Amino acid sequence: MGKPTGFMEYERQDKVAESPRTRIKHFNEFHTPLTKEEQEIQGARCMSCGVPFCQSGQMISGMASGCPLHNLVPEWNDLIYMGNWEEAYARLKKTNNFPEFTSRVCPALCEEACTCGLHEAPVSTKANEYGIIENAYKKGYAKAVPPKVRTGKKIAVIGSGPSGLAAADQLNKRGHSVTVFEREDRPGGLLRYGIPNMKLEKQIIDRKLAIMEEEGVEFKNSCNVGKDIKAAAILKDYDKVILACGASNPRDINVKGRDAKGIYFAVDFLKSTTKALCADGMKLKDGTYISAKGKKVMVIGGGDTGNDCVGTAMRHGAASVLQLEMMPKLPDERLETNPWPEWPRICKTDYGQQEAAAVFGKDPRVYTTTVKEFIKDKDGNLCKAVLVKLESKKDEKSGRIMMAEIAGSEYMADVDLVLIAAGFLGSESYVTKAFGVEVNTRTNVTTAAGEYETNIANVFAAGDMHRGQSLVVWAIREGREAAKEVDLKLMGYTNLSVQ
One domain, residues 176 and 276: no
Q: What is the mean pLDDT of residues 420-447?
A: 93
Look at residue 311 in the predicted model and tell me its pLDDT.
98
Q: What are the tens digits of pLDDT across the range 221-235?
A: 999 999 999 999 999
Same-domain check for residues 268 and 237: no
Q: Say what the pTM is.
A: 0.95
Domain residue limits at 241 = 154-248+425-491
Report yes or no on 46 lying in a domain: yes
Residue whose C-alpha is closest to residue 55's, from 133, 123, 135, 141:
123
In the prediction, which pLDDT does 284 show? 87
379 and 461 share one domain: no
The model's confidence at residue 279, banded by pLDDT at 50, 70 and 90, is confident
Q: pLDDT band for 401, please (50, 70, 90 cuts).
A: confident
132 lies in the same domain as 16 = yes
Residue 365 and residue 323 in contact, taking contact as beta carbons nearer than 8 Å: yes
Q: Would you say 137 and 205 are in contact if contact means Cβ atoms under 8 Å apart?
A: no
- 37 lies in a domain? yes
Domain check: are 394 and 433 in the same one? no
The pLDDT tens digits of the residues spanning 141-192 come to 999 999 999 999 999 999 999 999 999 999 999 999 999 999 999 999 999 9
CATH number of the domain to which 83 belongs: 1.10.1060.10
Looking at the fold, whether 334 and 477 belong to one and the same domain comes out as no
Domain count, the chain: 3
In whole angstroms, what is the distance from residue 126 CA to residue 349 CA?
Answer: 18
* Last residue in a domain, options 76, 108, 139: 139
Residue 1 has pLDDT above 70, yes or no: no
Say whether both 297 and 229 belong to one domain: no
Residue-level pLDDT at 453: 98
- The reply to whether 258 falls in a domain is no
pLDDT at 2 over 70: no
Quick one: average pLDDT of 302-310?
Answer: 95
DSSP tag of 423: -
Residue 459 above 70 pLDDT?
yes
Residue 469 lies in a domain: yes
Note the pLDDT tens digit of each residue in 102-132. Answer: 999 999 999 999 999 988 899 999 999 999 9
Checking if the pLDDT of 273 tops 90, the result is: yes
Query: Would 257 be classed as within a structural domain?
Result: no
Tell me: do 11 and 125 sit in the same domain: yes
Q: Which of 413, 305, 301, 316 is nearest to 355 (CA)?
A: 316
Q: What is the DSSP string of 157-202?
A: EE--SHHHHHHHHHHHHHT-EEEEE-SSSSS-THHHHTS-TTTS-H
Q: How many Å apart are CA 359 and CA 362, to the nearest integer?
A: 8
pLDDT digits (tens, 9 = 90+) for 224-267: 999 999 999 999 999 999 999 999 889 999 999 999 999 999 99
Is 498 inside a domain boundary?
Answer: no
Query: Is the domain of 288 the same as that of 390?
Result: yes
- At 451, which CATH number? 3.50.50.60
Residue in 455, 469, 461, 389 with CA at minimum distance from that of residue 426:
469
